[in-house]
Amino acid sequence: MDRIRVSVVGGTGYTGVELLRLLARHPFVQVDHITSRGEVGKSVSSLFPNLRGIYDEPFSEPDAEKLAESDVVFFATPNGTAMRYAPQLLQKGCRVIDLAADFRLTDVESWQQWYGMQHACAELVPEAVYGLPEINREKIAGARLVANPGCYPTSSILGLLPLLQAGLVVTDGLVIDGKSGVSGAGRGASVAGLMSENGESFKAYAIPGHRHQPEICQLLSQISGHPVSLVFVPHLLPMIRGIEATLYARLKDHSEQDLQALFEQHYADEPFVDVMPAGSHPETRSVRGVNHCRIAVHRPLDGDFVVVSSVIDNLVKGAAGQAVQNMNIMFALDETAGLQQVALLP
């Protein structure tokens, strides 16, 4: 088959370089343009030596006319960028996958409140498909515009999905305890991101409210068929990549439902969700560099609470890998194409 022509806007951030790493060995992809406003003219490999001999061309200025020559454009950019380009690209027949948050929330007013800016193309928001393949695979296949999910939402939604679809848990008072490595904050320099500030330390942040909370609520409400309420507390870990989400939900009754079997059956045909054996405790290192979510479900002391542990690599299944997975679905490719890596250990 002809190769899919791809452009990457914002190739200098962590999700951008991760996207380039994955696309480099994709059997059906040709990368046309890699853009960066701040690094125009500098070779990609000079900034990211791991890509030497693969992407030695220079970063270019993002130009909508040139980008539209591609079949699909990935936006690995800050919030507010993709929405300025999407209308023109879609009009020219190009598909768009946004790794930022411009199209994740269906309520534009809520989006503007959380992200502190006016939405530039609110008319496209209803068309955007939320790119979590495990719930929206058919819609993604026909989409022109895909909103790639956030990292915390991916780990949280996948962990709670079987319970909510089966109607087994109370949806008022869900608790999501999320932990992430420092790469989740992006590549921009800041004192808070220094290793000397984070090493040998562990803290919660954004307890009053995090931008991923409305995204999680939106999806869990859609899955449940009615509004859910939850407490979401993110934490910063002194490691580079990885997310562990510990999810707490109360069973509606003291049922004899086999939760292990429920999860195994629900994800039996999913290539990137691995339900661990009963009693397991998934580790972030087991998904480092790969597009997998590993899940374990527990019912402590055979009580009324279900506790789910869900781990992903925030830069892969939480960002770039999921974007490639979405592209594969959009172009009717094998969903695992370019994503067959094995996790890095030690």
Which residue intervals of 180-277 are DSSP H helices?
195-198, 212-224, 259-266
DSSP 8-state symbol, 296: E
Asked if 343 and 290 touch (Cβ cutoff 8 Å), the reply is yes
Give the integer Cα–Cα distance in Å for 175 and 306: 11
> Kind of pairing, strands 293-298 and 305-312?
antiparallel
DSSP state of 2: P
Question: Of 94, 151, 217, 293, which is the active-site residue?
Answer: 151
For 32-70, what is the HEC assignment? EEEECCCCECCEHHHHCHHHCCCCCCEEECCCHHHHCCC
Amino acid identity, position 221: S
Contacts of residue 201, Cβ cutoff 8 Å, sequence gap at least 6? 238
Residue 280's closest CA among 302, 254, 310?
310
| CA torsion through residues 187, 193, 195, 198, sign | negative
Rounded CA-CA distance 332/215 in Å is 27
94 belongs to the catalytic site = no
CB contact at 8 A, 276 and 295: yes
Q: Comparing C-alpha atoms, which of 315, 338, 287, 295 is closest to residue 134?
A: 295
Q: What whole-number distance in Å separates Cα of residue 255 and Cα of residue 113?
A: 41
Residues 6+ positions from 259 with CB-CB distance below 8 Å: 163, 297, 299, 306
For the record, the structure tokens of 298 come out as 């527990």
Answer yes or no: are the C-beta atoms of 72 and 29 closer than 8 Å: no
Fill in the amino acid letter for 157.
I
Question: Known catalytic residues?
Answer: 151
